[in-house]
């Protein structure tokens, strides 16, 4: 029964991502700013990114040399890119983990790690 529910949930999530109609799984219109799956993933990745940046010693050292405004600007660049890139980096396995509350944090951390790495490389080119 759990497999059927998980498969159905995954189908709904992937169907909403693939459809070009702008309607998300929860019935909202994603183009009108509704909280759809994409928005929730982006918000989770952005939040996780900022938390991880704040916990990194390298970021702390670099941030000491910046003003608070400049630090926010770089956080916005890095984490904004990561949250936008998240939908290109997400896998079916990640989506399954996001459905399960016990593995959601692990999935967000994995997506964030992949996207932040890609964005930092892109920003430093």
What pTM was computed for the model? 0.64
Tell me how far apart the alpha carbons of residues 63 and 20 are, in angstroms, rounded to a whole number.
41
Write down the pLDDT at residue 70: 93
**Banded pLDDT at 72 (limits 50, 70, 90):** very high
Mean pLDDT within 76-100: 87
Write down the pLDDT at residue 121: 77
The answer to whether 42 and 36 have CB atoms below 8 angstroms apart is no
Residues counted in the chain: 125
Tell me how far apart the alpha carbons of residues 44 and 98 are, in angstroms, rounded to a whole number.
10
* Segment 4-55, tens digit of pLDDT: 334 334 333 333 333 333 333 333 344 444 457 788 888 988 999 899 888 8
The answer to whether 99 and 90 have CB atoms below 8 angstroms apart is no
| DSSP assigned state of 66 | S
Q: Where are the domains of the chain?
A: 37-123
């Amino acid at each position: 029964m759990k497999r059927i529910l998980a498969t159905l949930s995954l189908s709904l999530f992937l169907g909403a991502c693939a459809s070009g109609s702008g309607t998300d799984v929860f019935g909202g219109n994603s183009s009108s700013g509704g909280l759809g799956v994409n928005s929730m993933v982006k918000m989770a990745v952005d939040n996780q990114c900022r938390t991880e940046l704040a916990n990194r010693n390298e970021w702390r050292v670099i941030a000491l040399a910046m003003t608070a405004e400049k630090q926010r600007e770089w956080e916005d660049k890095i984490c904004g890119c990561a949250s936008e890139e998240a939908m290109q980096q997400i896998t079916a396995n990640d989506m399954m983990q996001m459905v399960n509350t016990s593995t959601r944090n692990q999935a967000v951390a994995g997506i964030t790690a992949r996207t932040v790495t890609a964005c930092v490389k892109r920003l430093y080119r």
